Amino acid sequence: MICGFCHREIPEETPEKGCGRCGGGCRKVHCPYCGYENPLPSPLLERLLGRKEKKK
Amino acid sequence: MKCAVENPVQADQNLRRIFLVGNPNVGKSVLFNALTGAYTTVSNYPGTSVEVFRGTCEIHGVRYEVLDTPGMYSLLPITEEERVARDMLLNERPDVVLHVIDARNIERMLPMTLQLIEAGLPVILVVNILDEAERLGLRFDLHLLEEKLGIPVVGAAVRRRRGLKEIRAAIVGFDPSQKAVFGYAVDLERDISRVTSCLSGQYGLDARAMALLLMQRDESLTELVRSVEKDNFAVVEGAINEIAFDRRVDLHLRISLERKRVCKGVLEGVISEDGQRAIDWAGKLSELTMNPWTGVPLLLLVLYFGLYQFVGNFGAGTIVDFLEGGLFEKNLNPWFIDFCRTYLPWNWLFELLAGEYGIFTLGVRYAVAIVLPIVGTFFIAFSVIEDSGYFPRLAMLVDRVFKQIGLNGRAVIPIVLGFGCDTMATIVTRTLETRRERLIATLLLALAIPCSAQLGVILGLLSAVPGALVIWGGSMAGLFLFIGFLSARLMPGEKPMFYMEIPPMRLPQPRNVLVKTLTRMQWYFLEIFPLFILASVILWAGKMTGALQWLVEVMQPVMRLLGLPGQTAAAFIFGFFRRDFGAAGLYDLQTKGILSPAQLTVAAVTLTLFVPCVAQFLIMKKERGWKASLAIFAVVTLLAFSVGFGLNRLLLLTGVPG
Ligand SMILES: [Zn+2]
Ligand SMILES: [Zn+2]
């Protein structure tokens, strides 16, 4: 995932899968470089839009 | 549990080792595959979940082991991946380090090459994706670059298998003994030699590189030095603290800037642009967005087309008219109310479902017909802007202004996020450096930054009366600056510097925009829908028990002072639950024709300034403590109503907007 603010690559295994701070099942990933909060597509949405081919 | 065989370090000690390093997406993996062929293994780096790829290859009869390290942006690690990549480089003494960079972004990526050279690593620079860069009209004098850097430089387009032979030749013929030193500014050099003279232990790194990393406060390296230097560590630490104090600057920032300056010099004469080449529109535009003279008009253009036309007129006008006016008011609501009246014998249940504050007639209608189309269009506009890379440029543009209000460009992140949701933005203020900045940012978020839904509804509300929109925007911006300026004066303190790496601008990708918009809408809807239902239930209970009437009654005098009709009080009470709910309430009043343009303006300004929603208040309390958050609450409430009061008087006097 590319960060929407600084456009750097957020590693897949970022400890924050969902920021875990807000209620209501927050689904946002904070960029480790700039703190920007990126929306995490739901599995359903990913399936609907056709999952991007995994790299490597 | 991992057995030793899995450990990538346990390689055949006779093999020479090649490490591939570089940013993600520069073609490292392609090069890795091209060098090693099919026989590669993946294993976790010991003690981490980070995967490391390795394989072997034979070049001119010499066998090498090749390791593909996780992507990294600098030797100063932030993520686990970066830390692993750094540790691999520093602890495992590679024979050759191939630093792969993207030729199109050479200026952004070269500082890391400098770091690697400084660290005393045996670096070969691979300038990859050269074909694309040339297609853009860039020409490189790689011989000159090689001379200036003092290390082998190879141009390549590994996807097209170009440059592979040269890379292999460079690896075999590599002589790690030659080494360039890059001079920094005199004062910085003095600091570096001061720190190096304090170091007494033996490290795998050059003393110079150690000094630089220590000055940049690299935590793991500081720990290493602490354990090696033992008693002497106090001297080292003292020297660094003294330097940081003397300079009164962020050393990390200073060193990055200095490195950038050196890179600019190195690249002079290395890159040239074709005379005939198509103008680099992205680059030109990028500069225009950051120059105050052109950047501000561009910002206004973005706001006008992105927010006013698209969100205000199209989303809140066309789509809401269709859903709210057409679908709900004309068809769904009458049918549902009739249905309930016929089949529900109890008035309380009728009221709960289809009454004034009914779950369907208020909660569902607000959520589906008013808020959803507005935030939907807002999220589209937001995602387009985000995907184009405009935000970091905005950060640079507003940096000057923000310095005047006790913040700096870094605060753009929480402020921009505030336009999404103030609650989350309040949490993100943690990333700001000083307590003072965090307090100012929290106050400004609570006061003058409307969240996406509120902004959207207000835009929709006011786009019918452009004069009101201008006054509203002016009031928000003015108050934001004024209160920021005032609090910066009242809370004196250091003003940290700001520097940010600017990613290249690009044309937004429709797919990205679609995914982001749908994702945001989905989570937003899931989040607000139950809350809207809950709010209408609470309001219903308030109506049935008379509590709501009482509250509205209590607020009457305040409303009268603002020159607003009594019903507006309800919208303010809605606003407690959620900012967008309050704005939607106002929208309702407006469509019923209850508010005059002047009243609409006053109501919109007061409501936007007034209270953070419950969630934001709770987070404020958690992040800043009771004292600060109650003080902010009091200040915000007082300001909101006094501004509303003053504005009403002013509008009555001047008759604007009419
Ligand atoms: Zn980021
Ligand atoms: Zn969250």
Question: What is the per-residue pLDDT for A56?
Answer: 32
- Residue B114: pLDDT band (50, 70, 90) is very high
CA-nearest residue of chain B to A9? B24
Q: Where are the beta strands (DSSP E) in B111-260?
A: 123-128, 138-140, 153-155
Compute the distance from residue B216 Cα to the ligand 2 centre, in Å: 30
**Identity of the amino acid at B147:** E
Q: How confident is the model over B249-257, as a mean pLDDT?
A: 79
Q: Helices B466-490 and B390-404 sit at what angle, rounded to 10 degrees?
A: 60
- Domains, in order of start, for chain B: 16-173 (3.40.50.300), 186-273 (1.10.287.1770), 294-329+361-654 (no CATH)
Closest CA to B284 of B271, B272, B269, B295: B295
- Residue B303: pLDDT band (50, 70, 90) is confident
Note whether B80 contacts A13, CB cutoff 8 Å. Answer: yes
**According to the annotation, is B283 in a ligand binding site?**
no
Question: What is the per-residue pLDDT for B128?
Answer: 93
Question: What is the per-residue pLDDT for A53?
Answer: 39
Residue pair B81/B33 in contact (Cβ under 8 Å)? The answer is no
Compute the distance from residue A3 Cα to the ligand 1 centre, in Å: 5
Compute the distance from residue B428 Cα to the ligand 2 centre, in Å: 10
- Mean pLDDT rounded to a whole number for chain B: 82
- Spans of all domains in chain A: 1-10+22-48
Question: What is the per-residue pLDDT for B5?
Answer: 39
Among the bound ligands, the one closest to the CA of B423: 2
Peptide bond before residue B657 is cis, with ω within 30 degrees of 0: yes
More confident residue, B230 or A28: B230
Q: How confident is the model over B586-606, as a mean pLDDT?
A: 81
- B7: burial class by Cβ within 10 Å (0-12, 13-18, 19+)? middle
pLDDT of residue A9 exceeding 80: yes
The answer to whether the pTM exceeds 0.80 is no
Question: What is the per-residue pLDDT for B540?
Answer: 84
Q: How confident is the model over B483-497, as a mean pLDDT?
A: 76
Q: How confident is the model over B402-415, as a mean pLDDT?
A: 80
Q: How confident is the model over B496-506, as a mean pLDDT?
A: 76
Q: What distance in Å separates residue B44's CA from the closest CA in chain A? A: 13
pLDDT tens sequence across B29-62: 899 999 988 778 888 888 888 888 989 988 888 8
- Residue A51: pLDDT band (50, 70, 90) is low
- Residue A37: pLDDT band (50, 70, 90) is confident
Note whether B73 contacts A40, CB cutoff 8 Å. Answer: no
Question: What is the per-residue pLDDT for A39?
Answer: 81
Probe site for chain B from A1, A37, A40, A52 (most B CB atoms < 10 A): A37
Residue B115 phi/psi, 5-degree rounding, is -60, -45
Question: How many other CB atoms are there within 10 angstroms of residue B309's CB atom?
Answer: 15
> By percentage, how much of chain B surpasses pLDDT 90?
11
DSSP conformational letter for B501 = P
Residue B333 phi/psi, 5-degree rounding, is -60, -50
Note whether A5 contacts B70, CB cutoff 8 Å. Answer: no
H/E element, B220: helix B219-229
**According to the annotation, is B68 in a ligand binding site?**
yes
Question: What is the per-residue pLDDT for B9?
Answer: 44
Note whether A33 contacts B514, CB cutoff 8 Å. Answer: no
Note whether A6 contacts B523, CB cutoff 8 Å. Answer: no
Q: How confident is the model over B480-495, as a mean pLDDT?
A: 80
Task: Compute, in degrees rounded to 10, the torsion defined by CA atoms B43, B44, B47, B49.
Answer: -170
pLDDT of residue B111 exceeding 70: yes
Q: Which two tokens stand for residue B490?
A: 């009242």
pLDDT of residue B1 exceeding 50: no
Compute the distance from residue B444 Cα to the ligand 2 centre, in Å: 20
Task: Compute, in degrees rounded to 10, the torsion defined by CA atoms B546, B564, B448, B461.
Answer: 100
CA-nearest residue of chain A to B526? A24
CA dist., res. B445 & res. B415, Å (int): 7
Note whether A11 contacts B29, CB cutoff 8 Å. Answer: no
ipTM of the complex: 0.84
Question: How many other CB atoms are there within 10 angstroms of residue B290's CB atom?
Answer: 18
Q: How confident is the model over A10-29, as a mean pLDDT?
A: 62
